[in-house]
Amino acid sequence: MRRTTALAAALLATTLTTPPARAAIDPRDFGIWAGYVARNDSRPTHFFGSVYAEWTVPPVTCKHSKDLYAAWVGLGGGTPTDDWLVQGGTVTDCKTPDGRPRHYAFYEAVRPQGTPSPPVKVRNAVDTNDRITASVSYDRRTTWVITISNTTKGWQFSKTYDNIEVGPSSAEAVVESPAHNYPDFGNVSFQGVAVDGLPISRANPEKWRAFDSKDTLTEAEPGSIATTPAGKDGFPVFWRRE
């Protein structure tokens, strides 16, 4: 199982673990992502071209200064294949002087091997209840584009990588806590989730559940992918204590 750069390496000095293959789940590592991953298991030569989702940054209660989680979309990193992980979304971090959560947007391109690089914070402001849209696209050659928008505050950020030559064998919309320290975020409701322009329910989705050492559980509810009245797929990821 290959390991990728931590989402919050600069803050937590830990590494993010790529989810294991379905046939080789290791429960000791089964606690990083919660959400849905579309994989190319049935078409090994297929590379995904885009992933998109919308969500609202929920109110958060910090339990400890180490609490941190991210909501993001990405291409790659969700299979044992040695591909890149390119991702973008939002982080909520409880390591603050006053103990109140702070929010920010981020992006990252994680090499499958080599020296890890930390995620990059986006300078534009993010606050509780802001509406976020995020996407990652791949032109199936060498160019990848991450786009993050805060429609509440009216800003949009874009980052282009034009020298990544390995295609993504997965696409995902997930919640993650690199060190298994989730603050109480209630739920993140991903909406309008699309892979290659189609609802994620048509992209062979696989549910991932995440546990931490404190018996806190986040999960995409069984059968939780639902089509909204607008015809777009969405699903919630909940925080709760078992």
Q: Which tokens belong to 106?
A: 């981020």
Cβ(144)–Cβ(86) below 8 Å: yes
pLDDT in tens, 181-236: 888 898 899 999 999 998 888 877 776 655 443 435 455 554 556 655 556 788 88
Residue whose entry in the numeric block shows the structure tokens 């709760």: 240
Q: Which tokens belong to 13?
A: 């000095």
The larger pLDDT score, comparing residue 241 to residue 98, is at 98
- Predicted TM-score (pTM) of this structure: 0.83
pLDDT band at 21 (very low <50, low <70, confident <90, very high): very low
Q: What is the pLDDT of residue 229?
A: 54
β-strand partners of 171: 38, 75
Q: Which tokens belong to 116?
A: 């890890």
Beta strand pairing call for 155-161 and 205-208: unpaired
Highest mean pLDDT among 61-65, 152-156, 174-178, 207-211: 152-156
Residue 138 has pLDDT above 60, yes or no: yes
Mean pLDDT of 10-36: 42
Q: What is the pLDDT of residue 242?
A: 44
Residue 119 has pLDDT above 80, yes or no: yes
Domains and CATH numbers, the chain: 3-241 (2.60.120.700)
3-state secondary structure (DSSP) of residue 200: helix
Q: What is the pLDDT of residue 202?
A: 82
Q: Which tokens belong to 105?
A: 């947007």
Residue whose entry in the numeric block shows the structure tokens 């505050």: 153
Largest CA distance in the chain: 50
Q: Which tokens belong to 58?
A: 């929920």
